[in-house]
Structure formats: structure tokens, C-alpha cells
Amino acid sequence: MNALNIENLQKSFDQVPAVKGINFAIKQGEIFGLLGPNGAGKSTTINMIAGVVRLGGGNITAFGYDVERDYRRTRKMIGVVHQEVVIDNFFTIDQSLKLHAGYYGVKDDPAWRHLLIDRLGLKPHLHKVMLKLSGGLKRRFMIAKALIHRPQLLILDEPTAGVDVELRHGLWDFVREINKQGITILLTTHYLEEAEEMCDRIAIMNHGDVIAMEETHELVRRLSTRQLRFRLAEPLVEIPTVLEHLQPNLKEDGRLLQLNLSATDNVGAILSLLCEQKLDICDMESDQGNLEEVFIQLTGINGGLENV
């Protein structure tokens, strides 16, 4: 059974479509990244899963239960870290966590509460009212709050927005740790390097559609360009025409030849081609593509692909 199944999910606001019939599934135990530029429909999708936004069409099931019909069951199984910092200024961290366990119908478990407090570095601030917490502490509290009822699916909607590097790394370490304990993670972030490192699979949304979805390494391998750079013993005056399909580029007065490879280009074949051209190669470097490159290409700010 999947942790989450989304079928033909739709939502419009004032007749402007925000989510246009998307489909995807998240397996149990997976870390799934939902990426996309601002306004792509990620938060709307997440809010429909969590129950903040009503479904415009289609359906969502969490662990086999419909999120609208069986909302009590599904909401108990889902924890959400919202994009905006949502806190109740009247209460201390400790009071808020106890109340939140109750909202989810779960009795306060002091051992679990203290474990979250310790792991998220909240202990010295336990009895401070929310109003007095720094931005970073509020973010950490949001994660503790989302986990206090021990959900099976944790949704992180840009949990590290505006958070310093040290805290970001700490939070991601913690997310990995709880994922190893069996919690499925759905996350959105604008830190693509981190998403690439964290996520087993990634879906990229743009203009309300899912435009790409597959395992992270496969997505990057398939859609990014690798770069090969050859340092030549003798400067090259003219680029051989047989290399034209590799978008060659000559630098450093012809002593550096740069080639761009797609996922289907074979490095061995290219090396043979260069040998046939009798190029005297002293050194070779390669750069792998990354998720950021794929993201920019797909979301098409400068006219990238519309569908993959």
C-alpha cells in the first residue's frame, strides 16, 4: 500500500487553475521531493493532502484512506510543517506540544515529547512563550509540533526557508533519522542541492502540472548534460565537424576543448572519435549535471521543455 495516492487532482482559485489534474504516488518509507518554482501548485497540492484546501476534483488517499471521507483517520497519520511559521503566541513550547498531541487524539507521551525537544535543541527554551523565540527556534518547534502525534507521513513544505546553514543541516539530519524509523517524507524546498541529496524520488511541478517524475539520480542522469573537458598538448585551430553534435567550445587559445554530453552519449565512443582526429590529449576532466540544471531546463524560464 502506498503512503499517498493522488489521482487527477485539480484545484482552481477564482477560475484560475492552480493544480491541473495531477497524478502521483508516494511509497511508504520514501523521501519524495515535490519541487517547482513559486506558484507551481506545490503548496496547494500539499494543502489539499493536509485538509487546509478542499479538493477541486480527483481524489487523494493516504495509507488507503480517502483524505476527505476518512479525514479523521488520515489526518492522524499525517504531520505537516507549514511553509509559514504558524504558532500560538499565548503558549510555551511545552504547553503547545501537549495541546497538539491532544488535537490529534493522542495522549501526551512525555518520553516522546522530551525526545523531540532534545533532538531539536528546544530544551533550554521549553518554558518560553512563542513570542520570545527566534526564527530558527520557531522553525524547529514547527517540526516538533508536526511529529508530536507520531505521524506515518511527514509533510515538509519548505521547512528551511530563511533558516541558516547550520540549522538546515541539523534539520535534514533529523529528517533522515526519522525516515529511517519508517516515516514517509514529502518535502518541498527551493534548495535543490539538498533535495537532490535527500530525495529518493522527485516530481517537478510547473503551472499546476507535474512535468517530470522519477528517481532522483535517474532524472538528473537523463536530463542533465555532462561536461567533458580535454586539455590539449597542441592548440586546436578548428573544431572537427564530427564533434558538432556535442556543442563543442574552444577555450584558452585552443588548448581546452569542452564538450557537452547528453544522457545517451557514450564517453568511450567520444574518446575514440577524438583519437581518430589525432588530438593529443594531456588531461581530461568531467562534470556531472545536477538537479538545478534539470530544474531550470524543465521549468523553462527561458523556454525549456513543456513536457517530458
Partner 1 sequence: MFDNNPKFHPWLPFFALLRKEILRFWRVAMQTLLAPIVTASLYLFVFGATLGDRLSIVDGYSYAQFVIPGLIMMGIINNSFANTSSSLFMSRYLGGIVDLLVTPVTPPQFIMAYTLAAMLRGLLVGTVVWVISTMFTSLPWESPLLGILMAMLASFMFAQFGLIAAIYAQSFDTISMYTNFLILPLTFLGGVFYPISILPEPWAKLSCLNPLFYLIDGFRHALIGFSDTSYLVAFGYSGIIAVVLFVWAAWLIGKGYRLRS
- Which stretches within 157-260 are classed as H helix? 165-180, 192-198, 216-223
Radius of gyration of the chain (CA): 24
Least distance (Å) between residue 200 CB and partner 1? 19
| Comparison of 20 and 100: residue with beta carbon closer to partner 1 | 100
With residue 210 as reference, give the H or E element that holds it: strand 209-215
Least distance (Å) between residue 19 CB and partner 1? 12
| Comparison of 56 and 300: residue with beta carbon closer to partner 1 | 56
The strand pairing partners of 92, in sequence order, are 129
Which residues are near partner 1 by CB under 8 A?
13, 47, 50-54, 71-73, 75-76, 78, 80, 82, 84, 86-88, 90-91, 95, 99-107, 109, 112, 115, 145, 149-152, 178, 181-183
Least distance (Å) between residue 261 CB and partner 1? 43
Burial of 75 (0-12, 13-18, 19+ CB in 10 A): buried
C-alpha cell at 73: 483517520
Terminal C-alpha separation, the chain: 27
| Comparison of 90 and 234: residue with beta carbon closer to partner 1 | 90
| Comparison of 16 and 165: residue with beta carbon closer to partner 1 | 16
Least distance (Å) between residue 72 CB and partner 1? 4
| Comparison of 76 and 294: residue with beta carbon closer to partner 1 | 76
| Comparison of 67 and 137: residue with beta carbon closer to partner 1 | 67
DSSP string, 78-128: EEEE-SS----TTSBHHHHHHHHHHHTT----HHHHHHHHHHTT-GGGTTS
Least distance (Å) between residue 109 CB and partner 1? 7
Least distance (Å) between residue 110 CB and partner 1? 13
Neighbouring CB atoms inside 10 A of 307's CB total 9
